[in-house]
Chains A and B, each alone.
Chain A
Amino acid sequence: MPGGRHTSRMQHEAFANTEDFGGADVAVTPHRPSRPGQDAPYLNYALGKAYDEMFEADGTPRAPYAALDSRVSTLPLEELNRRQQACEQSFLHQGITFTVYSDNQATERIIPTDLLPRIVTAAEWNRIERGLTQRILALNLFLRDIYSDGRVLKDGVVPRAMIYGSKYYRREMRGLPVPHGAYVNICGSDLIRNEKGEFVVLEDNLRVPSGVSYMLANRDVARRAFPGVFRSMNVRPIEQYPLELLATLRSLAPFHDDVSIAILTPGVFNSAYFEHAFLARQMGVELVEGRDLLVNDNVVYTRTTSGLKRIDVIYRRIDDDFIDPLIFREDSALGVPGLFNAYRAGNVMIANALGTGVADDKAVYAYVPRLIRYYLSEEPLMDNVETFLCREEKSLQHVLGNLDKLVVKAVGESGGYGMLIGPHASQAEREEFGRKIKSDPDNYIAQPTIQLSTAPTFVGNGVEARHVDLRPFILHGSETKIVPGALTRVALKRGSLVVNSSQGGGSKDTWVLGQ
């Protein structure tokens, strides 16, 4: 134990010992660009079919990665390891952990973080920003439409049954106006980069997206791991996110100056609890659980030591189903009885609005490009992953004829259930699945197998290519704001395409460069 104590003290200070404080060493040291597979630490760096963020197909480093390469390739492996450990130690001490239960033992693990930043150029970001802004506008117009006139359904752009049959459609929201028509106030879209190097949208997360605290925590450690490189690269700041979020929440409740805002969390056992507490501290708002709130005469109060205090805006991190046991799931102990009626009465604003999930299911996703054209009369600035709707005859024939190349997903399912990964399935499995699709085509969509781009990731004995995605965070109240940064999720297992933290995924900092 005495030894352990000193080790941890040293790790705590590790960042301070050998920091490359200036940008000078990076800028003036002449450096031959590294080649993947030939130079340390990239000896096991394999370029595959996927687009690689750092290296061109011929193995030369892309220009934005030159400074990082010249730093990383001149540091001894032990030093990279030490910096990686310092990152992990910092996460552990901050309590950025989740709990794993096995053998009746609860162990705390950190969400793995990789110290090498992923770089997005100004031009790339510009496209992403415009594409996502367009998308969130269209999705909000769509939500307003289906919860009021249903014009898009009458015009036959989206099948009526698909919306009214969705388990995320909240009848209770019909005819209820929301401030600025903004149903989705906080969105975290998952983008991926295809083989051609284009960013495309894989998923819109319109319910309670999480991860923004990891974006900020990753910045904190990556900046300390490579201060010189960071300084030399004109990386755009993201620290204003909590401020922008606060402004977005405030804009929902214009009724008086002294708006009282609370974040509603399921509690300390939720895997995103760190984020809830983090945002509450950064914004200076109350963090509340369902049991802290009560509704009287359609007004929401928190119970304080001095008595009851009114709440005007709730940033809820609880799913629709659990938010009010009187209206939704009655077995929910996390929610607040009467909250929905207070919401309907206009006495409290809730972000995101209820019922937004109907717009991010897999079938509606396929319609988003059409929704953009329908509501905005514009062409989509950012593509979807190509998606075949089996409910459309032409697509159905294509899907049935190409089952060996496609991933087929059941619309209402998530988490890998009801899914066929064509290239990995047996002939018998494909035939079986083909019959299921034919018997209920409305329930299935298909996409080509997607190669996520790869980015350099430190793996202990060197730097290797790992698949990544990109989750930027979009804020939408009286206006739309996207902080120039994102959570880059990494599939840490070699070759794996699964970036979810529940399945061995980690994350890394994302450096969006200024002009």
Chain B
Amino acid sequence: MLSRVADSLYWMSRYIERAEHTARVMAVKLESMIEQTPQDAAASWSRVIEALTGELTLDATQDAFLTTRKLAFDRENGAALITSLSMARDNARQVREALSNEVWENLNRLYLRLAPVTMDSIWVHTPARLFREALEDMHALEGVTYSTLSHGEGWYFLELGKHIERAQLLGRLLDVHFRGPRDGSQNMPKYFDWLVLLKFCTAFEPYTKLYTASIRPQKIAEFLLFDPEFPHSVRFSVDRVTDALARVAPGAPPARRAAVERLAGRLKASVDFGQIDDLMSGGIAGFLADITRQCEKIHETLYASYITYGAETVL
């Protein structure tokens, strides 16, 4: 597979994952805010903004309309839903020949449907509905990606992009909930916020099946970090990354393959043998930061090994 094609597939997939994550967080947030006091809702918006954009904001300044606009439709915002979709589409267009018609047309239609949407047009009725519909479309896109593309090297680059992104997004979401507010206020997450966190990750029902409906932060962290079977847990994504790395660049020199696989193995060991009790006694922020760092390192080494390597090294 051409290195440039692998690069575009990887990023297309990362951006789609980011768009889906943003859409789900927005849908859940807009649906749940009506049940919160204005103060709690504002504190929750503040966490959402930090998780999605990395920006620190003051709770008190959060307005649902402006925040939704910024996170969903503001093209100046590199993390906005529409920006992610546009980037995913740009990457897809560059590798049109490596995608099926179904994948391209689903993604293209989704973008064309969202591109002209304005806040005023969605805010009058049920704003969450737009994001729910976008999610349905993204699930359809995921479905045709699974069922119409060969599960060969290109597909595994999509898997790598999706799961490296997902592990990092999950890490950030967990971090803003467990670390506590940085602005000095006392707005620690409440019972309802933990419920919402599970819903941000489509995890509410899978969680209750395992732990019953008793909502405990420690169990939530354990589930979202270490569950081997739930698709939105960090461990699940790390497993997919490890699997995918074994399937890409089959003809690459062994030394180069080893460089990436070693890093993935290390990350896998961290989540396979991680103990929630150890983390809860104060180390969760450090653990999450370490996971993020390791994901970044895998990304860099992946690129150095298979995509940006110097041609003179193989001649």
Contact = CB atoms under 8 A, between A and B. Distances in A.
Contacts of B129: 2
Given A280-B97, A305-B252, A4 B116 contact: yes
Interface string B1-35: 11110100000000000000000000000000000
A49 interface: no
Contact of A303 (B2, B90, B112): B2
A305 B133 contact: no
B3 A304 contact: yes
A287 B93 contact: no
A420 B256 CA distance: 64
Given A95-B96, A286-B2, 15 more contacts: A2-B125, A4-B113, A5-B113, A5-B133, A8-B113, A93-B108, A273-B93, A292-B4, A294-B311, A302-B2, A305-B3, A305-B153, A305-B307, A306-B250, A308-B314
A303 to B, nearest CB: 5
Interface residues of B, number: 37
A446 B115 CA distance: 49
A304 B2 contact: yes
Interface in B279-296: none
Contacts of A323: none
20 contacts: A1-B113, A1-B117, A5-B113, A8-B112, A12-B109, A94-B108, A95-B104, A95-B108, A278-B96, A292-B4, A296-B311, A304-B2, A304-B3, A305-B1, A305-B2, A305-B153, A305-B252, A306-B250, A306-B251, A307-B253
B248 interface: yes
Contact of A305 (B90, B109, B306, B311): B306
Contacts of B248: 305
B307 to A, nearest CB: 7
Contacts of A287: 96-97
B89 to A, nearest CB: 9
B249 interface: yes
B130 interface: yes
A281 interface: yes
Interface in B67-125: 90, 93-94, 96-97, 101, 104-105, 108-109, 112-113, 116-117, 121-122, 125
Contacts of A291: 4
Contact of A92 (B93, B101, B112, B307): B112
B1 A304 contact: yes
B210 interface: no
B315 interface: yes
B12 to A, nearest CB: 13
Quick one: which of A267, A287, A288, A289 has the most chain B CB within 10 A? A287
A304 B307 CA distance: 7
A235 interface: no
A303 B310 CA distance: 10
B96 A277 contact: yes
Given A92-B112, A280-B97, A294-B311, A305 B125 contact: no
Contacts of B307: 305
A24 interface: no
Give the top 5 A-B pairs by smallest Cβ distance, nearest first: A306-B251, A277-B96, A280-B97, A305-B249, A305-B306
Contacts of A278: 96-97
Contacts of B253: 307
A75 interface: no
A308 B90 CA distance: 26
Interface in A264-303: 267-268, 273-274, 277-278, 280-281, 286-289, 291-292, 294, 296, 301-303
A302 B6 CA distance: 13
Nearest to B109: A93
